[in-house]
Amino acid sequence: MEHLLAAFLGVVAGTLSAMFGVGGGLIFVPTLIFLGSNTHQAVATSLAAMIPAILVGSWRQTRYGAVRWKDATVIGIASIPTAQLGAAAANDLSNDALRKAFAVLLFAVAVQMAVRALRDGGSSDSSSGPDPPSA
Amino acid sequence: MSRRLSVLIAIGLVAGFLSGMFGVGGGIIIVPLLIALAAYPPKTAMATSLAAILFTATAAAAAHANEGNVQWADAVLLGVPAVFGALIGAAWHQRASTRGIVLAFAAFLALVAVRLATE
């Protein structure tokens, strides 16, 4: 039963990941903690678990023509060293106020994106790539 | 170095740092930054972000695996169903209107923010 729930949450995480271009850790990490991992193990396992889904999602999106691989490579490689810096900084500080400030910032970005989408309507993405292949 | 390249590198540096620091994926940071700073259409930003975090996640997972923190049985239990989810998610992404997917993304982002604040 536990495993069935975990598998279902895996599907949900993969769906969100490919749909929005995110990792899926939001769902994976709590699920793994529920399954008995500690926090370190959950983060590590979540990262490993999402790689096949990201790979398949990127492949589908590439076929659709929406991935700019050169840009993605630059961003991806640039993020590798600072991710370790950030993790080290988090271990040093573990600052609650900082996390709340970041949460407020994310929330503000979410509101701003929603307001713009509602104002502009749905027509601004016509240049997002070719139509889906018909074959 | 061109301005455009500098912007992309800056996005990667910032996304990496914040994701490492707060344990959130880089994607929720990369998508809004690509739209705001690199004039990306929203759907292209999401698809490109997915490709970008492939590098981040692989490097981070390798580092964690070296330290022996990855529980492989659980990774398979979640990771295999997630592949099916990815097929569904990519198909939904491709069919969705820009407005619809941006609103859904904003809702997701708000949820991440609330979770982060109440953790």
Contact B60, A47 (CB under 8 A): yes
A27: in domain: yes
pLDDT for res A127: 45
pTM for the structure as a whole: 0.89
Taking only the tens place, the pLDDT of each residue in B30-60 is: 999 999 999 999 999 999 999 999 998 898 8
Domains in chain A, number: 1
82-111 in chain B: CB under 8 A from chain A: 82-94, 96-111
Is residue A82 within 8 angstroms of chain B, CB to CB? Answer: yes
Cα nearest neighbour of A46 on chain B: B75
Give the C-alpha separation, A80 to A25, whole Å. Answer: 17
Give A109's contacts (C-beta < 8 A, 6+ positions apart). B32, B109
Name the least confident of A85-89, B8-12, B17-21, B44-48: A85-89
Using CB atoms, pick whichever of B89, B100, B105 lies closest to residue A57: B89
> Do residue B52 and residue A31 have CB atoms under 8 angstroms apart?
no
Is residue A54 one of the residues assigned to a domain? yes
Tens place of pLDDT for every residue, chain A, 135 residues? 788 999 999 999 999 999 999 988 888 988 998 888 888 888 889 989 999 999 999 999 999 988 999 999 999 999 999 988 887 777 666 567 788 888 999 999 999 999 999 997 645 444 444 444 443
| CA angle B101–A112–A79, rounded 5-degree value | 75
Spatial separation of the C-alpha atoms in residues B13 and A76, rounded to whole Å: 9
Cβ distance of B79 and A55 shorter than 8 Å: no
Of B20 and A129, the structure prediction assigns the larger pLDDT to B20
Nearest to A22 by CA among B107, B67, B70: B107
Residue numbers of the domain that contains A14: 2-67
Task: Please provide the average confidence, as pLDDT, over all residues in chain B.
Answer: 92
pLDDT at B26: 86
Lowest mean pLDDT among A123-132, B41-50, B86-95, B104-113: A123-132
Q: What pLDDT score does A92 carry?
A: 67
Quick check: is A118 in a domain? no
Residues of A in contact with B61 (CB under 8 A): 44, 47-48, 51
Chain A, 54 to 73: residues with Cβ < 8 Å from chain B are 54-58, 60-62, 64, 66-69, 71-73
Within-domain flag for A101: no
- Closest residue in B to A112 (Cα) is B106
Residues B12, B51: Cα–Cα separation, whole Å? 12
Q: What is the ipTM of this complex?
A: 0.93
CB contact under 8 A, A104 and B117: yes
Which residues of B, range 24-63, sit inside 8 Å of A by Cβ?
A: 24-28, 30-32, 34-35, 38, 41-61, 63
In a domain, A43, yes or no: yes
Is residue A102 included in any domain, yes or no? no
Of residues A96 and B85, more confidence is placed in B85
